[in-house]
Structure 1
Amino acid sequence: MTKIWFNRWFSVAYHYIHMIRSNPDQQPFVFYGTHPDPNHMHLQACDYAFVEPTVKGAEYVQFCLDFCKQHSIDIFIPRLHMYDIAEQIERFEAIGTKVMVCKDLTLLHQLMNKHLFYEALQHTDIVTLPAYRVVNTAAQFKQAYEELTSEGNKVCFKPTSSEGGMGFRIIAERSNRLEEMYGWVTLKTSFEDAYQAFASKDWFDDIMVMELLEGDEYSIDCLSSAEGELLTAIPRRKSTGRVYELEKVPALLDIAERVAARYRIPYVFNIQVKYNKGIPKLLEINPRMSGGLYISCLSGINIPYLAVKEIQGQPFDVPKPKFDLQISYIEQPIVLKSRSGY
């Protein structure tokens, strides 16, 4: 029976574990999960759950190696500290553990830092980039803001090394601060507030000041071979609220083909783009399963399970994805444990 370990993942790994477990081939799996929070949601889908130490670098890699040895893990699907793990992938392979991670360390390093990857994409025709500047002083921030707005752009900013929406802000004029106190929490901040925050330090970690993209946002979930050959791509448009649309958009499928042909990212990756003035522009590329992959899999393609088959070297046919689907989701309560003993 194949043993699979998900380390410190997002809560949505709960879905991916169930998708692999309920595979159409009735292939049996045993799932291991680790996280510093023993009540973390993805652990609830695992057969065995353990508390993970809060260490980094070489210590974390050693923890991973020891865990794989102790539990005879066949497939390791990491999210946390992917680069550190990929650096030592030969040590995992030596003990019989296959690791679902990009082995190209230069590429992986670039993908995990938006500035580096944008620099690598300059002067290529793979995907259009938004206008941007990278800054780490308040003076540079002010100059970048003035240059971008003078070109007719609205402006936003985000740390170059962050996941999802962490640190993302939109620069906008504030109309009434008191009214804002009674309204929803917002991602908007004024230039003055942002400048004062950045000016509180002589130097800060890299911030990317960018053209604000105001059109439709798409995530393109991609399945590829171990060698990086693109097997399928599913564009998923963020609609209103919790509604998503799976759409066959030739321009986005072409972007997925070009990214795969150039970078050969193995197993599963995700391309995020957003339109502005009719042009799809890159937000980022994630060399892992995305947070919304379980929605894209309603196209009829069980991407997590097919990725597991691929890393095992098992042959399979990729179904043709179903498009023109409108999809949403709801929370589902589950019992973590019963204190009464019943």
Structure 2
Amino acid sequence: MKVLVTAAGGALAPVNIMHLQDGRSHCKVVAVDVRSDAIGRYFADEFEIVPPGNDPEYVAAIVNIVRAKAVDVVLPWSDEEALALSERKAEIEAAGAVLATEDARTLLTMCDKAETYRLLSEAGVETAHWRVVHNKEQLLKELWELKAVRGEAVVKPLVARGNRGTFVVYSDAGAPKEFLGSRELHLGWDEFTEGFLNEVVSNLPVIVMERLVEPAIDIDVLAYHGKVIHAIPRERINPAGVPFRGSIFRSSPRLLDLAADVTRAFGLSWLYDYDVMHRRDGTPVILEVNPRPSGSIAASLSTGVPLYDDLFDLISGKPVIEVNLPPDGTKSVPYLEIRTIQK
């Protein structure tokens, strides 16, 4: 099995590449990235530089690599690349590789938070209170209603990576500050209206929603035709997610049921990452459905759950054997290792 992985410059790319190589499938890994010094190049069996995922030449470069290196599976590790490849899935597969992601329409829905929440709501999956606002009057109405009822609110773009452009507004927040080093800004009501309201108005439409609280959860999901094969909920030790500080595994029936509901609503196959937070009453709800596996999927792999191998078995039409998930409270943490590589 020869697997092409994208975005090989991620901090956990070396660990993920080694899991691919050391699994029962004994994959050969072709890694690609926009940077020549991507850390993954030193661990992959082969490496190629490619244009950015939003470059018009990106897909053609991937197709050429698939043909030249006889790649069997293409596994995107970033949103932009997953979207670009899904839009021309037929070309990837005509070149001889399976693209392990859904069609472009499904991925575009995932990347639009309003469309994601709308689809889930229509499928009967509980979501946070949310509204899309299109003008300043709607924005102020929703904000003041949330302030009166809950004392806090969140404003976020319809489409964004991570926490870019997200404002969390509550009474005792005070001056703007980034949340645990992320791009998410926490600030008071006066500070928001005086310093950032006009910026938000200039970028309408946006989502206004209730503030969700910790614990922050990633669920690594391997799915096939709308059914969960494996779902592994992991509480983030660093709730912001970046940098990755490790995971605490949670064997929660509510989280597993949520993963099953979301997978069924989208009709998914292959590997994905669901971001979950909680309402004030403790109800877990979806924050985001990511169109590719989490970089920190390495935490789940480290517990012995063979997500990659089982993905390849599904692709090959082989049966997947049920495995034991890590006990509740199990921790996986990163550590620094230095390796000398002769290439």
Which TM-score band applies after superposition, normalised by the shorter structure?
Answer: 0.7 to 0.9
- Cα deviation code 1:29-70 (max 9, x no counterpart): 221112122222333321222222236264322222122222
Match of 2:64 among 63, 66, 81: 66
> Which amino acid in structure 1 is aligned with residue 85 of structure 2?
I
Structure 1 segment 1-342 matched on structure 2, within 5 A: 2-9=1-8, 10-23=10-23, 25=24, 27-54=25-52, 56=54, 58-78=56-76, 79=78, 80-103=80-103, 105-126=104-125, 128-135=126-133, 138-173=136-171, 187-195=185-193, 196-200=195-199, 203-204=202-203, 206-225=205-224, 227-239=225-237, 242=245, 244-276=247-279, 277-334=281-338
Alignment RMSD (CA, Å)? 3.0
Does structure 2 conserve the Cα–Cα contact (< 8 Å) formed by 1:216 and 1:274? yes
> Which amino acid in structure 2 is aligned with residue 142 of structure 1?
L
Does structure 1 conserve the Cα–Cα contact (< 8 Å) formed by 2:32 and 2:50? yes
- Cα deviation code 1:274-313 (max 9, x no counterpart): 1221211221112321133222234431212221232233
Does structure 1 conserve the Cα–Cα contact (< 8 Å) formed by 2:82 and 2:292? no
Does structure 2 conserve the Cα–Cα contact (< 8 Å) formed by 1:301 and 1:318? no
- CA distance in structure 1 between the partners assigned to 2:253 and 2:93 by the alignment: 38
> Which amino acid in structure 2 is aligned with residue 283 of structure 1?
L
- Report the CA distance between 1:247 and its aligned residue: 1.9
**Closer/same/farther in 2, CA of residues 240 and 279 from structure 1, 3 Å limit:** same
Indicate the percent of aligned positions where both proteins have the same amino acid: 20
Which of the pair has more CA radius of gyration?
1
Q: Where does structure 1 lack aligned partners over 5 or more consecutive residues?
A: none
- Cα deviation code 1:131-169 (max 9, x no counterpart): 122245555433321122222252123222123333333
Does structure 2 conserve the Cα–Cα contact (< 8 Å) formed by 1:77 and 1:101? yes
- CA distance in structure 1 between the partners assigned to 2:306 and 2:254 by the alignment: 24
Does structure 2 conserve the Cα–Cα contact (< 8 Å) formed by 1:108 and 1:287? yes
- Cα deviation code 1:82-106 (max 9, x no counterpart): 2231122112211211111113x33
Q: Secondary structure at the match of 1:96?
A: coil
- CA distance in structure 2 between the partners assigned to 1:172 and 1:41 by the alignment: 40
- CA distance in structure 2 between the partners assigned to 1:274 and 1:52 by the alignment: 35
Q: Secondary structure at the match of 1:73?
A: coil
Q: Aligned residue pairs: how many?
A: 331
**Closer/same/farther in 2, CA of residues 15 and 254 from structure 1, 3 Å limit:** same
- CA distance in structure 1 between the partners assigned to 2:123 and 2:58 by the alignment: 36
Map of 2:242 onto structure 1: none
- CA distance in structure 2 between the partners assigned to 1:173 and 1:201 by the alignment: 19
- CA distance in structure 2 between the partners assigned to 1:138 and 1:229 by the alignment: 41
- CA distance in structure 2 between the partners assigned to 1:278 and 1:111 by the alignment: 24
**Closer/same/farther in 2, CA of residues 332 and 243 from structure 1, 3 Å limit:** closer
- CA distance in structure 2 between the partners assigned to 1:174 and 1:92 by the alignment: 52
- Report the CA distance between 1:239 and its aligned residue: 4.5
Q: Secondary structure at the match of 1:93?
A: helix
Does structure 2 conserve the Cα–Cα contact (< 8 Å) formed by 1:92 and 1:99? yes
**Closer/same/farther in 2, CA of residues 55 and 272 from structure 1, 3 Å limit:** closer
Out of 54-63 and 33-42, give the one that drifted further.
Answer: 54-63
Q: Secondary structure at the match of 1:216?
A: strand
Does structure 1 conserve the Cα–Cα contact (< 8 Å) formed by 2:174 and 2:187? no
TM value normalised by structure 2: 0.84
- Report the CA distance between 1:200 and its aligned residue: 4.7
Does structure 2 conserve the Cα–Cα contact (< 8 Å) formed by 1:243 and 1:326? no
> Which amino acid in structure 2 is aligned with residue 222 of structure 1?
V
**Closer/same/farther in 2, CA of residues 160 and 171 from structure 1, 3 Å limit:** same
